[in-house]
Structure formats: structure tokens, C-alpha cells
Structure 1
Amino acid sequence: MLALIAGLVMFLGIHSVGLFVPRWRGQMIVRLGPLAWKGLYTVVAVLGLVLIVYGYGQARLAPTWLWVPPVWTRHLAALLTLPAFVLLVAAYVPGSHIKARVGHPMLLGVKFWAIAHLIANGTLADLLLFGSFLAWAVALFIVLRRRDRLAGMTRSGRASRDVAVLVIGVVAWVAFALWLHEMIIGVAPFGAA
């Protein structure tokens, strides 16, 4: 469990530096140089991700159950991840109405993903992993939306981009829900018990 916690602190911490301690980030970029800062950022993020994967995998071997969710919650979680995939795609396809309206679709997608997994999983490790990502995404979304409003930022989009976002997002979700999730994670979202 310690590896999971350390990984979460590293991964989510490094992804929050620019928003919560921008002055320190600026000082580090000046001190180290932009390339060295990006290298350090990448190393910390990758190491954090490795620790999250390792720590979560270890915690799954001897789970501490907080609640036992019914099987149907796996199906609900699978459906709730559909908007998460669409929002993730919207973050990378420029010019969609979805991105214009949401502002930060990846963070909203992380919220959907985290809530879906909190509904369907009941161990302490699940609460730490998905709860941490949910809290991080909520905090960051609030900070970024406030910053956008203060800057008077406006966005626009085109319907053709929305179609692309929806098609790519749904196709990615189907592939992940029906095949990749079981292959990578070991759990079939729409499978039986």
C-alpha cells in the first residue's frame, strides 16, 4: 500500500505543480533550464505511475474490503466510462464544441472514470486510487475554470469536430470495455461475476 500512496503523491503532485505552486515551478525552470525541468517532470511522473501500478497490483493480491459492491455496479461503471472516453478524445481533438463548452475535458473525463470505478470497487486500494484521482481532478478543474474566467477565455467549436470526437471516443470505449480492459486489468466490465 505504501508504494501505491507514494506513486499517487508523486504522479498527482507533479501534475499539480504548475497550478498550485507556479512560482516554485518557474524558479525550477530558471534554475534547471526548460529541458532539464521537463526531464525531471517526466521521470517523476513515470516513476509515480510505475509505483501506482505496482502498488495497486500488490494491494489487489490481499485486498482490504471496505464494502462489497453488487455485480451490476460493474455494468454501471462500464457505461459511466463512455463519457470519460469521449471527453478524453475531446481533450486532444481541437475545435470541438465539447472542448469549448467543458474547457478542460480530460479532467471531467477523469472524474467520470474515477466515480465509475469507486462505484464498482470496494477495497481500500480502490478508494485510495480512484478517490485520489477524483479529488485531484475536482480541485484542478475548479482552479483551471476559475483561471479561465479571470482571463476572459472563450472557446468555439465546429460540429464536424464533435462528430469526430464522438465516433473516436465510442470506438475506443467499445474496444476497451469489450477487450482491452480484461487483457490489461484482468477484469471484464460486462462479464459475469
Structure 2
Amino acid sequence: MFEFLLALFVFLFAHILPQIGDLRGKIISLTSRKTYIIGYSIFSTVLLVWLVSAALRAPRTIFYAPDPFTVRIAMALMLVAIILFVMGAARPNSLSVSFRRNLQQEVAHPGILALVRHPIITAFGLWAFAHILVNGELANILLFGIMLAFSVLGIVRLNTSKTKKLSAEDYALAKQKEAGSWSQRARRALDWQLAIELVVGIIAYMAILHAHGPVIGVDPLAYF
């Protein structure tokens, strides 16, 4: 349990530290935004792998066990999560987590951003919630519960901070992609790139689903 708690602390601290004293902005000014995003993404992935592996090795205190019903719900949520992540990663997004910035492009071709402001963070939250449903061990409940809370707080923080970091003109322009009724936003989202992202998301989901057993040691398909 000590290794798990240590990994959890390091993971959370690594995501809080860049906000202290605008460390993130200082690193970007010394390198570039692209370099920072790539480097930080690799670093976060390594920490996440360590955290998950430490949770798997932690002492087992079981509160509930998965069953075919909850596994099916979790699999459906993961399908949505992976598709959302792919769609969010493929689009520039000035109002949330993204891998690139291009305000004019995101307004002209918003894709999923016309419907979901924070697709990557929402995907992360769905991933956490889906795994809470089927992981009744104490370490996993703590792990995924904190990840879910982390996602919710991240959305709240971004909704507040982006109004301060963007100029009034850029913020108003970025908000244009969310204007109108749900049907209007849905029509704005539809384009050829969205269709490609959907296919890529489904392929990625199938690959992860079939690799889950060999890599993680738990096969969701075994419940069918």
C-alpha cells in the first residue's frame, strides 16, 4: 500500500506543480508549447502506468466484485471515453486541454468541440468512473475516485481560468462554436474529419479491449 500511496502522491503533485507560480508558462517560454505538451504527456503517462501497476500490487481489500451487468456498462462508457479522447486530441481547443492551438481553425471546424467543451478531460473522467464500477478493491476505488474528482475539478478550473488567460475577443470567438441549439451545434460538429475520428476511436477501443487482458491481467470479454 505504501508504494501505491507514494505513486498517487507523486502523480497528483506532478499535476499541481505546473500551476504553482506559473511554472508551466515559464517552461513554455524557455522551450515551446509543443515541446512542453509532448514532454509533459510522456511524463504523465509514465506516472500513470506506475500508479496503476502499484494499485494492482497493493493489498486486496474487496468491497464489491464486478458482474456481467456492470462490466457491460463500463465497456460502453469506455467506448464513449476513447472516442471522445480521439476527437478531442485531433482538434485545437483554446478553452480546454489540447495538443495544439489554432483559434480560427477550431471555430471554423469545431467537430466535437461544438458539443463538448472538454472532450479529453471528460474522457478521462468517464475512464475513471467506468473503472470504479468494476473495481471494488480499496486501492482501485481510491485510485479511480481521485482521478474522477481530478477530472471534475479540472473542468471547473479551466472554465474559470480561460476567461482570464484569453483576451475578451478571443474568448468570445472561441465560444461561438457552442452557440445555438443542440441540433444547430450537432450540424456544426459534423464533417468528414469527425467521421474519421469516430472510426479511429472505435479501432482504438477494440485494440485496447483485446489488449486489456494480456497487459492489465483482467479480461472484460471473459464476462460474456
* Superposed pair shares fold, TM > 0.5: yes
Matched, 1:135 2:134: no
Q: Which residue of 1 aligns with 2:5?
A: 5
Q: CA deviation at 1:173?
A: 0.8
Q: Deviations over 1:38-94 (max 9, x none)?
A: 5996796466335313411311xx411122343421121111101110111012212
Amino acid paired to 1:159: D
Q: Which residue of 2 aligns with 1:101?
A: 115
TM-score when scaled to structure 2? 0.69
Q: Which residue of 2 aligns with 1:114?
A: 128
The verdict on how the C-alpha distance between 1:102 and 1:172 changes in structure 2, with shifts beyond 3 A counting, is same
Amino acid paired to 1:56: A
- Judge conservation of contact 2:121–2:155 (CA < 8 Å) in 1: yes
- Judge conservation of contact 1:7–1:47 (CA < 8 Å) in 2: no
Please give the alpha-carbon distance, in whole angstroms, between the structure 2 residues aligned to 1:27 and 1:110: 24
The verdict on how the C-alpha distance between 1:155 and 1:90 changes in structure 2, with shifts beyond 3 A counting, is farther
Q: Which residue of 1 aligns with 2:51?
A: 52
Structure 1: unaligned runs, 5 residues or longer: none
Q: Which residue of 1 aligns with 2:104?
A: none
The verdict on how the C-alpha distance between 1:77 and 1:5 changes in structure 2, with shifts beyond 3 A counting, is same
Q: Which residue of 2 aligns with 1:79?
A: 76
Please give the alpha-carbon distance, in whole angstroms, between the structure 1 residues aligned to 2:7 and 2:160: 28
Please give the alpha-carbon distance, in whole angstroms, between the structure 2 residues aligned to 1:46 and 1:116: 19
TM-score when scaled to structure 1? 0.79
Please give the alpha-carbon distance, in whole angstroms, between the structure 1 residues aligned to 2:65 and 2:161: 40
Please give the alpha-carbon distance, in whole angstroms, between the structure 1 residues aligned to 2:112 and 2:39: 33
Structure 2: unaligned runs, 5 residues or longer: 92-108, 178-188
Equivalent runs, 1:56-71 vs 2, <5 Å = 56-59=55-58, 62-71=59-68
Please give the alpha-carbon distance, in whole angstroms, between the structure 1 residues aligned to 2:57 and 2:84: 30
**SS in structure 1 at match of 2:64:** coil
The verdict on how the C-alpha distance between 1:170 and 1:44 changes in structure 2, with shifts beyond 3 A counting, is closer
Please give the alpha-carbon distance, in whole angstroms, between the structure 1 residues aligned to 2:219 and 2:44: 28
Matched, 1:175 2:207: yes
Work out the percentage of aligned pairs sharing the same amino acid.
28
Q: Which residue of 2 aligns with 1:14?
A: 14
Q: CA deviation at 1:143?
A: 1.1
Please give the alpha-carbon distance, in whole angstroms, between the structure 2 residues aligned to 1:168 and 1:85: 9
Amino acid paired to 2:129: I
- Judge conservation of contact 1:77–1:120 (CA < 8 Å) in 2: yes
Please give the alpha-carbon distance, in whole angstroms, between the structure 2 residues aligned to 1:101 and 1:129: 29
Q: CA deviation at 1:14?
A: 1.8
Q: Which residue of 2 aligns with 1:189?
A: 220
- Judge conservation of contact 1:89–1:165 (CA < 8 Å) in 2: yes
- Judge conservation of contact 2:122–2:151 (CA < 8 Å) in 1: yes
